[in-house]
């Protein structure tokens, strides 16, 4: 998420899209183990003059309002890919019950899997989005990054969640994990 934001959302970009600059070196068809990690690449110099704080506030605001349901973040292309553009076989698993393409969708640049596949629980996903929204609002309100370190941002509201199988959108009970 951070790489994508620094590549494509903040302007001018802080990071390049390597697959666009060097398509022969960072081709999706090349096995990751065959990448030449010690090879010198031309230096990229960003023209972005935003402070780290401004970049951070922009990051929080962007993902507080991001459409996670329909969008796939692609670091490989530096653009958002509509979820419905993904091949159907990628979106569904063999047994049809579990897919790695659940709530936060970030395309891994080389094997095209979802790097955020560990976020498969709707409650955890909602907690992540809630923290993005609360953090962006708190910074906008207080103009202070220190306000984010208040204890309230780190306490998930577990007591407000029903862990029974019938209440979960993913069809699993909490004891199946």
SS3 99: coil
**Helix H segments across 66-176?**
88-91, 122-142
Each residue of 20-48: pLDDT tens digit?
998 888 887 878 788 887 888 888 999 99
Q: How far apart are CA 74 and CA 112, in angstroms?
A: 9
For the record, the structure tokens of 171 come out as 């069809």
Confidence of residue 91 (pLDDT cuts 50, 70, 90): low
Confidence of residue 116 (pLDDT cuts 50, 70, 90): confident
Q: What does the pLDDT read at residue 14?
A: 98
Rounded to the nearest 10°, the torsion over CA 25, 106, 64, 135 is -80
Q: For 7-16, 47-56, 88-97, which range has the lowest pLDDT when averaged over its residues?
A: 88-97
């Amino acid at each position: 998420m951070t790489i994508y934001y620094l590549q494509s959302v903040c302007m001018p970009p802080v990071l390049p899209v390597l697959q666009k600059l060097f398509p022969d070196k960072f081709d999706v068809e090349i096995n990751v183990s065959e990448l030449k990690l010690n090879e010198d690449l031309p230096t990229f110099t960003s023209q972005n003059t935003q402070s780290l704080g401004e970049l951070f506030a922009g990051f929080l605001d962007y993902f507080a309002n991001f459409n996670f349901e329909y969008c796939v973040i692609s670091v490989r292309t530096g653009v958002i890919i509509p979820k419905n553009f993904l091949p159907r076989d990628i979106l569904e698993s063999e047994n049809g019950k579990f897919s790695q393409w659940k709530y936060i969708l970030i395309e891994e640049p080389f094997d095209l899997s979802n790097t955020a596949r560990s976020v498969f629980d709707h409650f955890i996903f909602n907690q992540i989005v809630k923290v993005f929204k609360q953090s962006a609002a708190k910074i906008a309100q207080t103009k202070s990054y220190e306000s984010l370190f208040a204890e309230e941002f780190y306490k998930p509201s577990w007591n407000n969640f029903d862990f029974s199988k019938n209440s979960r959108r993913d069809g699993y009970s909490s004891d199946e994990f």
